[in-house]
Amino acid sequence: MDITFCCADTNADEWLPGLRAALPEATITLWQAGAPPARYAIVWQPPRQFFAEQLQLRALFNMGAGVDALMGPHLSPNTLVVRLNDAGMADQMAEYVCHALIRHFREFAAYDQDMAQRQWTYREPLPREQFPVGVMGLGALGERVARAVGVFGFPVRGWSRSAKQITGVECFSASEGFAPFLRGTRVLVNMLPLTAETESILNRSTLSQLQRGAVLINVARGRHLVEEDLQPLLDGGQLAAAVLDVFRQEPLPADHPFWSDSRITITPHTAARTLFQETVAQISGKLRALERGEAIAGVVDMQRGY
Ligand code: NAP
Ligand code: GLV
């Protein structure tokens, strides 16, 4: 089994020994331009030259959950694209979203300001029924997030392409379910994959349908949000705050207006990181299953784009 490894922003000196230890039967090499065609690849945002040269891949394993950076006509139709399923990311997403939600609900930003002024000021408790949380995308990560939010007693709703039943979550689906989902949501969490259907789905029109004083938590992809629509919605009070982990351009440019807006919290695409042990175990398990001719989870449907 020959495997080529081509991962941007990834420490190959750590990952290659780990993968080789997990797959001693395989030959795993670091991809470089002109390398011979391999049977399998493990990738994260590979360059176009990689696709131009690696034309005989049986499967391409993505080192993340989102495969948007891989999609396009450069992919051979005979290559399976396989994404990470959870691999430790769902718990991280649940932590991130619960922190952002509770930080807003319990008004921690206001207490931070009070502390800077040495001020001891009580605020009245807010009823959590007034903060229904809506999770867009109920897949490997979104379902975990919806369940975690429910533990704190917030009303939880979710929206997905296909109809779902999740205990404790009011589920909506497809385009006809989108408007009622938005209407009853105050804290909107985006956990959708980036596809032709979901690009720019967070915009003036959709965010205006949320309950007034809404909070946006975008932990999926920057291209889901029409960035120039955000600050006017905050100025007008339709949105109270936004917590953004992902941006159209990453790293976020130093002169981007979001940096200096105290209503916007910015983190550097870190909501759920690719974890070493979980990922090595998942990819090596799937590679072996494929070699045995077994079906594996996480094969991307190229028509749907996720
Ligand atoms: P997943 O398991 O494929 O789940 C995707 C969910 O979105 C599914 O519930 C799917 O509906 C729904 N969906 C897709 N297209 C839709 C549409 N047009 N309308 C309504 N619902 C739609 O994906 P995942 O593993 O949970 O990951 C989700 C995304 O999180 C990734 O694609 C990636 O962009 C992002 N992510 C971000 C970070 C970070 O650090 N910020 C880390 C990891 C992942 P069905 O269930 O009906 O198919
Ligand atoms: C990270 O953004 C991922 O898609 O895994």
Task: Give the per-residue pLDDT at 95.
Answer: 98
Tell me if 2-87+274-291 shares its fold with 89-266: yes
Q: How far is 25 from 178, CA to CA, in rounded Å?
A: 48
Instruction: Looking at the CA of 268, name the nearest ligand.
Output: 1
Residue among 256, 263, 269, 288 flagged as catalytic: 269
Can you list the residues of the chain whose pLDDT is less than 70?
none
Index of the ligand 1 atom closest to the CA of residue 173: 20
Asked if 29 and 35 count as a contact pair (C-beta separation under 8 A), the reply is: yes
Tens of pLDDT, residues 171-224 = 999 999 999 999 999 999 999 999 999 999 999 999 999 999 999 999 999 999
pLDDT tens digits, one per residue of 140-177: 999 999 999 999 999 999 999 999 999 999 999 999 99
Task: Kindly list the domain boundaries of the chain, sorted by start residue.
Answer: 2-87+274-291, 89-266
Residue 118 to residue 96: CA distance in whole angstroms? 28
Find all residues with CB under 8 Å of 242, minimum gap 6, and list them.
215, 216, 217, 218, 230, 234, 263, 264, 265
Q: Identify the CATH class of 89-266.
A: alpha beta
Query: What is the Cα–Cα distance from 302 to 220, expressed in whole angstroms?
Result: 19
Query: What pLDDT score was predicted for residue 76?
Result: 87
Closest-approaching ligand to the CA atom of 279: 2
224 labelled catalytic: no
**Ligand 2 lined by 46 (C-beta under 6 Å):** no
Place of tokens 């799937």: 286
Q: Which amino acid is at 132?
A: P
- 2-87+274-291 fold: Rossmann fold (3.40.50)
